[in-house]
Structure 1
Amino acid sequence: MRPRTPRPLVVDTLIAVAMAVVALLLGQESRSQGWAELDARGHVLVALAQLPVALRGRWPLGVFAFLQVVTVVHDGLGYWPVLCTFGSMLALYTVASVCPVRVAVACAVCMTAVWAYAGLVVRPSSPGSVLGPALLYCTVLVWFGHLARRSAELTRRLRAEQAEQARRAVAEERGRIARELHDVVAHHMSVISVHAGLARFVFDSDPAKARGALGTIADTSGEALEELRRMLQVLREEDPEAPARAPMPTLARLGELLDRVRAGGLPVDLAVEGTERPLPPGVELCAYRVVQEALTNALKHAGPARAHVELRYGTQELAVRVTDDGEGTNPARVPAGGGHGLIGMRERANLYGGTISVGPRSEGGYEVRLTLPTSAAERSRRGAPEAER
C-alpha cells in the first residue's frame, strides 16, 4: 500500500457522525420494512457500523474489516441490512483509493458475500435481486476508488517532475552564475595582477608610474566589486527592498573593457563592420563575455603582443573575432581539458545557438571566432532556446 496523506480527522469524523444520524433515523422505518425494530442493541450496532469511518484514512483495511464483522452480527440478529451499508460502501471506496486493485477486489468480494448472507441466508430472497445490486455497487465503488488512486499517483508524479525541473533550473542558474563570476573575477584579477607586478617593479625607480599602476588597480578592483555586487543582487532578486541592479555588460561597454586591457599592458584595437544596432540582451552579454575571456587569456599568456577585436554585424548574425600575435603555439596557453574559461565560452555559444572556434593561428598568435544568430527565427532554426537569460 502506497503512503497517503491522511485526510483531516475532523472532516472524516463529521462524515461518520452524519452517516450514523441518517442510519439511526432511517432505522425508525425498520418495522414498516418487515424487519426487527431497532432496540438499544440495534442502535449500538448501527452506530458501530458508521462511526469507525472517521479512521478510514489511517487504517482503511482495518476499518473495512471491522465494519464487515459488525454488519454480519447486525444482520444475523434480524435488523434491517440497509442500515449498515453506508459505512461499508465508503470504507470499500477508501480501500480502492489507497490499495492495489487486487486488494480492493478481494474486499469487494468480501462485502458481496456479507450482503449475500443477509439476503440469502438470514431472509432468503431471489439471488438475482441480492447479488445483482451487490455486484453493481461493489464494481462502481472499486472503479471510482481506482480512478481516485490513479489521479493521486499522477498528481504525486507531476509534483515530483515539477520539483525535479525546479532542481534542474537551480542547477542551471548556479552554472550561469558560476560562469559570470569566473568571467568577472578572472579578467579583473588579471589586470590587477599585471599592474601590481608593474608597481612593485618601478616603485623606487619611477614613483609616478607606480602611482598610476596603483590607481588602475583601485579602479579595476572597484569595477570588479561592482560586478560582484550585481551578481549578489541577482541572488537576492526576491527581496522587494533590494536596490535595482545595474544592467549586465553589453557591447556598448566594450570600449571600457579595451581601456582596461590596454592599461594592463596589452595594446588592442577594435574594428566594427556593418551597422551597429541593439541586439537581444543575452546575445550581447555572450559576445561581451567571450571578448573579455579572449583578451584575459591574451593578457595572461600571450606575452609581448598586440590584440585585435573585430565585430561584424550581419542581417541574421553577429560575428566576433579576437586575435593576437603573441605566443599562440605555446602549449601553456591551452590548459589541460580546455580550461574553465574555454568551457564557459563554448557553453555560452551553445546556449544561444552560436558556434565558436578557439586555437592557435598558422601565422602565429591565437584566435577566437564566435558567430551568434541575432534573430529569434534564426536561433530557433539552430535549436537554441528563444528565451533570453
Structure 2
Amino acid sequence: MRIRPLIVDVLIAVALTTVAVLLGEESAAQGWPELDSLGYGLVALVNVPVVARSKAPLTVLIVVHLAWIAYVTAGYWPVVCTFGPMLILYTVASLRPLRVSLACAGLMAAVWIYAGAISAHAVMASVVGQAVGFSLVILRFGYVARRSAELARQLKREQDERARREVAEERGRIARELHDVVAHHMSVISVQAGLATFVFGSDPATARTALGTIAGTSGEALEELRRMLRVLRAEDGGHDGEEPAAPMPGLARLDEMVERVRAGGVPVELRVTGTPRPLAPGVELCAYRVVQEALTNVLKHAHGAAAEVELAYRGGHIEVSVTDDGKGVIPARVRTGSGHGLLGMRERAKLYGGTISIGPLSEGGFAVRLTLPTSARAAARGDDATE
C-alpha cells in the first residue's frame, strides 16, 4: 500500500518535533537555558512547517530559518533546532535549480555561523567548518536526488515514446496486411459478383463459374485473415493448445493468384526465369504482396488491360515486375505511386533492403519493378550479380 506524501510529511514533522523537544530537555546539562513556553513554541515553529515542504519548499525554508534565528537570538541551545532547517534545505535542493539551492545553503550556513558568533563558548573555526560542511553535504544529496528524479522521468518518457512507436509500427504492419489481404480478394469478388449479376438470366453457366470463383476467393481471404489473427495472437502470448499458424503465402502461390486475377477478367501472363530456390519467408511474403497489390490495381483501375508478371531469380537477389499494356485508365494517385497500397509496397521493399520503382511507361501502361536481396551479404553490398 502506498502512503500519501502528506501523511509522510506529517509523520516526519512529528518525529522532528519530538526529537527536538527531547534534545531540548538536555539543554541545562549542556550549559544552556532550559526550554520554557517560548522555547517550546519556537521549537514547534522551526519543525512543524516541514509538513508543507513538498508544496512550498522555498516559503517553508524562509519561515523555518526565521524561526531558527529567533530561537538562537533568544539564547537557547542552537543544536536543538538544526534538524528542521537541514531537512528543508535538502527538500529545496531536490526540487529546485542549483542556483536557488546554493542561495538556500548559504542562508543555512549564515544562520549556523550567527548562532556560533553569539555563543560565549563556541569555537568559530569548528562552527564555520560545520556550517559549510553540513550545508554542502546536504546540498549534494539533494542535487543527486533531483538528477535521479529527472533521469527517471526522462527514462519514463523515452519508454512511453518507444512504446508508442512500437504500437504505431504494429498498427501499420497490421494495416498493410489487412489491405493486402482484403483489397485483392474483395476486388476479385466485386468483379465476379458484377459478372454473375449481369449474366444470371442469360448465361447460367458463366454465372455459376463466377459464383464458384467468389466462393473460392472468399474462402482464401478468410483463411489468410485467420492466419494473420493466429500470428497476432501468438505474438501477444497466445493460448496453449492453439493450432499452429498456417504458412505465409509465398512465391510458390503466384500461380494461384494469377489464375484468380484471370478469373476476374484480366489477361495475365506469368513468366519465371532463373532457377527457383528457397528464400527467407519475409522476402517471399514481400514479393508476393507487391505482386498482389500491383495486380489488384490493374483489376480495379485498368479495366481491359492485359498484365504480365515476371519473376527472375538472380545470384544474390530476385527481381519481380508487374506491367500492364495501358488500355485501362489508372487514377492519378496510382500513376504517381501515392496510393496507400503503393506506399505499403515502398515500405515493404525498404524493410527488406530492396528497391522498387513504380510509375507509367513511356510507351503506355504502368509498371511496378521490385528488386530484393536474398542474403544479408547481398543486402549489405548491393550484390547484383546474375546467374
CA distance 1:351–1:75, shift in 2 (3 Å): same
Residue aligning to 1:181: 178
Residue aligning to 1:201: 198
Q: Does 1:224 align with 2:225?
A: no
What is the CA-CA distance between 1:104 and the residue it aligns to? 1.5
Residue aligning to 1:386: none
Q: Which of 153, 162, 165 matches 2:162?
A: 165
2:175 counterpart letter in structure 1: A
Once the two structures are superposed, the pairs formed by residues 20-169 of structure 1 within 5 Å of their partners are: 20-123=17-120, 125-169=122-166
Contact 1:36–1:78, Cα closer than 8 Å, also in 2 = yes
Contact 1:328–1:366, Cα closer than 8 Å, also in 2 = no
Look up the SS of the partner of 1:372 in the other structure.
strand
Contact 1:190–1:296, Cα closer than 8 Å, also in 2 = yes
What is the CA-CA distance between 1:252 and the residue it aligns to? 3.7
Residue aligning to 2:334: 335
- Unmatched runs of 5 consecutive residues or more in structure 2: 383-387
Contact 1:56–1:94, Cα closer than 8 Å, also in 2 = yes
Look up the SS of the partner of 2:201 in the other structure.
coil
Distance 1:106 1:289 in 2: 66
Contact 2:301–2:330, Cα closer than 8 Å, also in 1 = no
2:374 counterpart letter in structure 1: T
Contact 1:328–1:361, Cα closer than 8 Å, also in 2 = no
What is the CA-CA distance between 1:156 and the residue it aligns to? 1.7
Contact 1:187–1:292, Cα closer than 8 Å, also in 2 = yes
Q: Does 1:299 align with 2:299?
A: yes
Contact 2:303–2:327, Cα closer than 8 Å, also in 1 = no
**What's the CA shift string for 1:304-326, capped at 9, x where partnerless?**
455443333345323223334x3
Distance 1:316 1:187 in 2: 30
Look up the SS of the partner of 2:353 in the other structure.
coil
Once the two structures are superposed, the pairs formed by residues 264-303 of structure 1 within 5 Å of their partners are: 264-265=264-265, 266-271=267-272, 273-279=274-280, 281-303=281-303
Contact 1:328–1:360, Cα closer than 8 Å, also in 2 = no
CA distance 1:186–1:240, shift in 2 (3 Å): closer
What is the CA-CA distance between 1:289 and the residue it aligns to? 0.5
What is the CA-CA distance between 1:130 and the residue it aligns to? 2.4
In the alignment of these two chains, the number of paired residues is 375
1:34 counterpart letter in structure 2: G
Look up the SS of the partner of 1:335 in the other structure.
helix
Distance 2:156 2:182 in 1: 38
What is the CA-CA distance between 1:120 and the residue it aligns to? 1.0
Residue aligning to 1:3: none
**What's the CA shift string for 1:47-104, capped at 9, x where partnerless?**
4433433432222223222221221232223221111111111110110111122322
Of 28-37 and 345-354, deviating more is: 28-37
Residue aligning to 1:353: 353
Distance 1:80 1:282 in 2: 79
**What's the CA shift string for 1:302-357, capped at 9, x where partnerless?**
44455443333345323223334x32696658736423332221221112210112
Of 95-104 and 254-263, deviating more is: 254-263
What is the CA-CA distance between 1:285 and the residue it aligns to? 1.8
Distance 2:21 2:373 in 1: 77
CA distance 1:89–1:333, shift in 2 (3 Å): closer
- Unmatched runs of 5 consecutive residues or more in structure 1: 1-5, 383-389
Look up the SS of the partner of 1:268 in the other structure.
strand
Q: Does 1:261 align with 2:270?
A: no
Contact 2:305–2:327, Cα closer than 8 Å, also in 1 = no
Of 44-53 and 98-107, deviating more is: 44-53
CA distance 1:54–1:314, shift in 2 (3 Å): farther
Distance 1:135 1:156 in 2: 31
What is the CA-CA distance between 1:124 and the residue it aligns to? 7.0
CA distance 1:155–1:116, shift in 2 (3 Å): same
CA distance 1:137–1:318, shift in 2 (3 Å): same
What is the CA-CA distance between 1:182 and the residue it aligns to? 2.3
CA distance 1:336–1:268, shift in 2 (3 Å): closer
Distance 1:164 1:117 in 2: 51
**What's the CA shift string for 1:168-222, capped at 9, x where partnerless?**
2222333222222222222112211221222123222210110110121132233
Residue aligning to 2:385: none
Contact 1:267–1:305, Cα closer than 8 Å, also in 2 = no
Instruction: Give the root-mean-square deviation of aligned CA atoms.
Output: 3.1
